[in-house]
């Protein structure tokens, strides 16, 4: 069993790789009542074109999310989500651009729930009837997302930033694309991507690593697949598709989302940490930028900047609300340019770095949050402690280089949602 240890936060994570290729990560926490488990697969909304053992397969947009819904269906007619809830655990699942994750958390009945949990993830049951029944439910969900300003502003920006990348496709798909989904397609993607060497499990709580490994092995029936999976991603030009998109919805205050299209790199997790630091330095509540825009009634809360990346994309996002979003966006870009030219104050950098450390440490104190952070990171092939270790290693020169090299105005676009007139 491999052990990852970070002395700064005094945490250990244990990793065991089963004979079938499944990797299990355990974060032991003595004397805590909550227990959390997450089981993820490297399969999400962008994986709609792939080659499996020499056979090219193209599946409808939204199928990863559709499969997530259908996984709870059981041959005995009982919904696995209802079964887990009935024994007192909180169960859920989510689908992202590049991953699907199943989970539950509880204070009691963890091992009773583990049997049900591992049974439904390993035993899909799809019929023509139950697949058709789900179509209307997911169709309603799609229409609901269409009415969500947060969803609309995000995907409008993706349409601006990307020409061909599937990250611009809504995770749930569209009414038209889900109409093409049938049980054969669902079994095809299950048998391709829901295989042990493409999946990870993270468990956190008051566990002895050997005992939880033994329990998982007891219910493990998956065999090593030896699938040769090639993901076929379309060629994406370096340019953006268009500069902006403005839409009207039922909102009281205009919101905006600015995006910078950047290249993937070997240090993306470290770069994401640098962006967290730059967010506070450039736009945080104590920054001159926020104070000035607050006094001008252009911002009421600080904007939030973050980095999103995975296998085939990387971007920096800046979101906020303003009564004059175009002016706020202009000043945001001016602020970035100004800091590129004058550099970063070392005293401020050191202060913010300590603040970010406190923020990350707070995540480790919440089992649900840190378990999700770990599963997402390891599905991206990052190490469990890589984020906090990157923060330890980062110096002011690295952050200044990130600022200078990743905010190209020609690679920037924005999306605005304004109130209906």
Sign, CA torsion 355/361/365/366: positive
State the residue for tokens 């050997």: 210
- Look up 405 and say whether it is catalytic: no
Separation of alpha carbons 363 and 122, rounded Å: 30
Extract the tokens encoding 354: 């300590």
Separation of alpha carbons 282 and 289, rounded Å: 7
Separation of alpha carbons 106 and 150, rounded Å: 30
Separation of alpha carbons 27 and 15, rounded Å: 9
Contact 202, 38 (CB under 8 A): yes
Distance of CA 170 to the CA centre of its chain: 14
Choice among 11, 68, 105, 389 that is catalytic: 68
Q: Which residues contact 51 (CB under 8 A, 6 or more apart)?
A: 57, 229, 230, 232
The closest of 117, 114, 132 to 66, measured between CA atoms, is 132
Work out the end-to-end distance of the chain between its first and last CA atoms, rounded to an integer number of angstroms: 62
Phi, psi of 204 (to 5 degrees): -135, 140
Radius of gyration of the chain (CA): 23
Identify the three-state secondary structure at position 3. strand
Q: Which residues are catalytic?
A: 68
């Amino acid at each position: 069993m491999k052990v990852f240890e970070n002395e700064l936060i005094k945490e250990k994570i244990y990793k065991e790789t089963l004979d079938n290729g499944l990797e299990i990560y355990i974060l032991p926490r003595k004397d805590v009542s909550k227990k959390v488990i997450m089981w993820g697969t490297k399969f999400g909304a962008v994986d709609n074109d792939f080659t499996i053992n020499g056979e090219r397969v193209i599946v409808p947009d939204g199928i990863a999310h559709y499969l997530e819904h259908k996984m709870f269906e059981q041959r005995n007619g009982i919904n696995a989500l209802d079964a887990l809830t009935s024994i007192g655990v909180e169960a859920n699942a989510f689908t992202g651009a590049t991953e699907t994750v199943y989970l539950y958390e509880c204070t009691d009945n963890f091992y009773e729930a583990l049997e049900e949990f591992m049974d439904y993830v390993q035993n899909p049951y799809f019929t023509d009837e139950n697949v058709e029944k789900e179509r209307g439910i997911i169709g309603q969900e799609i229409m609901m997302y269409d009415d969500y300003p947060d969803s609309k502003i995000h995907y409008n920006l993706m349409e601006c930033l990307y020409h061909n990348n599937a990250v611009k496709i809504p995770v749930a798909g569209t009414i038209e694309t889900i109409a093409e989904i049938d049980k054969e397609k669902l079994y095809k993607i299950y048998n391709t991507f829901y295989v042990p060497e493409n999946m990870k499990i993270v468990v956190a709580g008051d566990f002895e690593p050997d005992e939880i490994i033994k329990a998982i092995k007891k219910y493990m029936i998956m065999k090593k697949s030896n699938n040769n999976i090639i993901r076929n991603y379309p060629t994406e030009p370096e340019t953006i598709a268009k500069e902006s998109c403005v839409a009207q919805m039922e909102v009281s205050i205009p919101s905006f989302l600015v995006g910078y299209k950047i290249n993937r790199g070997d240090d993306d997790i470290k770069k994401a940490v640098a962006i967290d630091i730059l967010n506070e330095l450039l736009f945080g509540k104590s920054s001159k930028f926020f104070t000035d825009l607050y006094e001008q009634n252009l911002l009421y809360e600080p904007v939030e900047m973050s980095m999103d990346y995975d296998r085939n994309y990387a971007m920096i996002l800046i979101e906020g609300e303003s009564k004059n979003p175009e002016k706020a966006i202009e000043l945001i870009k001016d602020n970035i340019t100004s800091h590129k030219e004058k550099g970063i104050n070392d005293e401020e950098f050191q202060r913010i770095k300590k603040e970010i450390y406190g923020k990350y440490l707070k995540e480790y104190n919440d089992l649900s949050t840190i378990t999700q952070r770990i599963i997402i990171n390891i599905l991206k092939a990052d190490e469990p402690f890589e984020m906090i270790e990157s923060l330890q290693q980062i110096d002011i020169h690295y952050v200044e280089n990130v600022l200078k090299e990743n905010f190209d105005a020609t690679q920037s676009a924005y999306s605005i949602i304004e109130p209906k007139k």
